[in-house]
Amino acid sequence: MIENKIKTLRKAAKVSTMQDPDKIWCVIAGNEDMVNTIAYEAILDKERVNILCREHITLRESFVTKKFDFIMLYGDTDKIRDLSLISKENGGAYLKIAPYYVQEESNLNLIVGPEDNIKKFLGDIEKSTVKASFLLEDKTTGFIESDVYITQWLPKFIRDVADPLFKMADVALSTVLISTDEEYIEKIKEIAKSNKIFVIRFKEIMKEE
């Protein structure tokens, strides 16, 4: 674990000393309204930035429903930086994926999910035989939408009181970029599925670019 962190710090230092690229990839995650704003700004300036994918995720755990959105972009560094500021101002999570990672790291995987689920996922990876490098991580400072759908069976006067309380539950979102060897891809997918988090293989996004 310590050795893995040292390698990650060395890679981060190498990336930071490289000249800023003209174009970069990024992922922004958070609540639906924030991601709608990012998508709108990207569409208005489509000559400088492309939307690679946009997903709306709904997770059900026990009686709790968690909803969040994320968007992947590729474009001019300055424009991406502007969009990242919008994300941060609105409590979103933001990862900048420099060309270095794409060129030097094999099998990049983007992991998105509620913070507690991500922690459990990373713990399960550490305990397994999977070899993976954790490259980048960020989490929301704002909270995603959550509610308890069992309240739909409660009497209306109780539901009117309970629903707002559940919707205000503090659920943060995390995004993590990892790299691994091809032989571990299916195992990572399996662990991700058991922890109810979303995984995107960066190679698949590159094909669509």
3-class state of residue 68 by DSSP: strand
Q: Residue 72: is its pLDDT beyond 90?
A: yes
Q: How far apart (Å, rounded) are the C-alpha atoms in residues 11 and 71?
A: 25
Q: Please report the pLDDT score of residue 12 as a whole number.
A: 46
CA nearest to 116, candidates 177, 190, 170: 170
Residues 6+ apart with CB under 8 A from 139: 93, 115, 172, 173, 174, 175
Question: pLDDT value at position 21?
Answer: 67
Both structure tokens of 106: 């094999």
Predicted confidence at residue 9, as pLDDT, reads 41
**Which residue type does 127 have?**
K
Residues 56 and 207: their CA atoms lie apart, in Å, by 21
pLDDT at residue 8 above 50? Answer: no
Does the structure show a pLDDT above 90 at 149? no
Report, as an integer, the average pLDDT of 94-119.
Answer: 89
More confident residue, 205 or 48: 48
Q: pTM of this prediction?
A: 0.76
Q: CB–CB of 56/69 below 8 Å?
A: yes
DSSP per-residue letters across 114-146: EHHHHHHHHHHHHHSS--EEEEEEEE-SS--EE
CATH number of the domain at 2-208, out of 3.30.565.10, 3.90.550.10, 3.90.1150.10, 3.30.70.1150?
3.30.70.1150
Between the ranges 26-30, 99-103, 144-148, where is the mean pLDDT highest?
A: 26-30
Residue 21 per-residue DSSP state: P
